[in-house]
Amino acid sequence: MAINFDLNDLLAFRAVAELSNFRKAAEMVHISQPAFSRRIDKLEQALGVRLLERTTRRVSLTVVGRDFARKVEQLLGDLDHTLLGIRGVAATRMGEVAIACVPSTVYYFLSQVIRRYHERYPRVRIKVFDAGANEVLAAVAGGEVDFGLNFMGSQETGIEFKPLLEDRFVGACRRDHPLARKRHATWSDLAQYDYISVSKSSGNRLLLDQALAHVSGQPQAIYEAQHVTTMIGLVEAGLGVAAVPSLAMPAADHPLLVSVPLSDPVVTRTVGLIRRKDRSLSPSAQQLYDFLLEMKPARRKAARKPAAR
């Protein structure tokens, strides 16, 4: 006898068994409530038994439903374990990963991880959504991407934030700039030169404004850009100096740019991986997520290393 239901029907049943509420269960599996009800009806008709008792206020499992729920949980758990066990094989054949990130993490960190990942899994397509910190958080929360790389999200309900590194703000300048001769600089040192800042809509700007709220002699912006990467381009063009996350700066042997550690105060941001707590990653996405965690120690050391001069 053919079984006329599929995996989505089982996932829907597991959700309502856990939550005892059709609306919440429908939200968990990301479908409308009428579509959710049709899945449950289809499952009950295929099995020929009633799994749920429904009233206007709550949903409860029948005796058969309770026994079936235990078996479904075991079945889905075994399936998850099997998929994770073969994710390396699956990723080499097909797959797609969507990741959101703040632009300052792309050039000299995320790009290296993606290169390594692509060498091992060349047939997996990767979509990178680079945007401001608030937009990255919204993309993860809304399920538009698999996970994100951000310095915001640790306080958000429903979001798991896994720290990767402490990223210190440094002064960015050209090698031929007077600031490049300093081993360390203060924020008042930056104020002596044309200063480039990110706009007020930037998460980095909010972080800096809060950290420097009571610091006298702060630099005043002559130029303003939307993203940190644009600021670095303006610095490289010789238009001034900027305070940027060290993660966004190139290696110490860059021919034009220099990083100068900033103090009084030292300002840092915690960069981490963010993902929804209620959503499992696909095998391909889990592999890229793990690659980022593996590169965490090496990148942390590099991010704190002063540029050679």
Residue 37, in any domain of the structure? yes
**What is the spatial distance between Cα 280 and Cα 277, in angstroms, rounded to a whole number?**
8
The CB-based long-range contact list for 8-11 (8 Å cut-off, 24+ gap) reads 8/39, 9/39, 9/40, 9/42, 9/43, 9/46, 10/43, 10/72, 10/75, 10/76, 11/76
pLDDT of residue 296: 64
Given 85, 100, 117, which residue is the final one in a domain?
Answer: 85
Instruction: Assign residue 125 the CATH number of its domain.
Output: 3.40.190.10
pLDDT of residue 128: 94
| Whether residues 46 and 176 fall in one domain | no
Residue 189, pLDDT above cutoff 90? yes
Q: Token pair 């792309």 is at which residue?
A: 106
Residue 104, in any domain of the structure? yes
Instruction: Give 2's pLDDT tier (boundaries 50, 70, 90).
Output: low
Q: Are 173 and 254 in contact (CB under 8 A)?
A: no
Split into its structural domains, the chain has a count of 3
Predicted confidence (pLDDT) per residue in 192-210, tens digit: 999 999 988 888 898 999 9
| Whether residues 255 and 280 fall in one domain | no
Look up the domain containing 138 and give its range. Answer: 88-164+270-304
Instruction: Give 307's pLDDT tier (boundaries 50, 70, 90).
Output: very low
Percent of the chain clearing pLDDT 90 (strictly above)? 41
pLDDT of residue 81: 64
| Whether residues 175 and 260 fall in one domain | yes
| Whether residues 183 and 247 fall in one domain | yes
**Mean pLDDT, residues 38-62 taken together:** 86
Predicted confidence (pLDDT) per residue in 153-186, tens digit: 888 889 999 999 899 999 999 999 999 999 999 9
Tokens of 86: 């073969």
| Whether residues 249 and 176 fall in one domain | yes
pLDDT of residue 305: 40
**What is the spatial distance between Cα 105 and Cα 228, in angstroms, rounded to a whole number?**
10
**What is the spatial distance between Cα 218 and Cα 154, in angstroms, rounded to a whole number?**
28
Instruction: Assign residue 67 the CATH number of its domain.
Output: 1.10.10.10
Residue 105, in any domain of the structure? yes
Percent of the chain clearing pLDDT 70 (strictly above)? 89
Q: Are 218 and 212 in contact (CB under 8 A)?
A: yes
> What's the predicted TM-score (pTM) here?
0.63
